[in-house]
Amino acid sequence: MTIAIYAGSFDPVTAGHLSVVRQAARLFSHVVVVVAVNPNKRTLLTAEERMALIREAVARHPNVSVTFTEGLIVELAREIGASVLLRGVRGATDAQFETELAQMNRALAPELSTLFLPAEAHLAEVSSSALKERLTRGEDVSAFCPPAVAAKLRERLSPSLRSHP
């Protein structure tokens, strides 16, 4: 059984993230989506909220589970017996950053492989930050995230956004 970890802050989870999860669910016996908690990073949603939104979004994939960690992803990978670290890549900028991260992880845990998976092309420019920005401008974000994510963001960002699609 091959276990893969897909880690990120997921603040919030986007359709691009979920595209990567769908691909991974077809490739691996088990995929663990990890909400990585960085105490130095300011997030809009709590780790519990992010995990709940991801769980709802991946519920139809029986081989996908969701957890969180405040530690190093490579340590969690060792604890659960994962052999692959998954990284979503949107474009050249992501590729550079993700390659550097993969090299650091390889130095820490040479037994782990990193696999880059691109999201679907029409989702390539949708980051969690861009999603929040679009929503605050009153734009429809339904193509870029699950309805529960849009609702949670509207709730959190501004009461005046609750009535928008």
> What residues are designated binding site for substrate?
9, 41, 73, 87
Q: Say which of 19, 128, 152, 154 is annotated catalytic.
A: 128
From the list 90, 132, 134, 156, the catalytic residue is 90
The residues near 72 (Cβ < 8 Å, ≥ 6 apart) are 108
Residue 147: other Cβ atoms inside 10 A:
12
> Per DSSP, what are the bridge partners of residue 116?
87
Peptide bond preceding 62: is omega within 30 degrees of 0, i.e. cis? no
Gap between the Cα atoms of 129 and 142, Å rounded: 15
Residue numbering of the annotated binding site? 9-10, 17, 41, 73, 87-90, 98, 123-129
Phi-psi region of 153 (alpha: psi -120 to 50; beta: other; left: phi over 0): alpha
Catalytic residue among 17, 22, 30, 50: 17
**Residue pair 154/161 in contact by the 8 Å Cβ criterion:** yes
Residue 41 a catalytic site member: yes
**Annotated catalytic residue within 26, 41, 60, 137:** 41
What residue numbers does the annotated binding site for ATP cover? Answer: 9-10, 17, 88-90, 98, 123-129
Active-site residue flag, 17 = yes
Catalytic residues: 17, 41, 90, 128
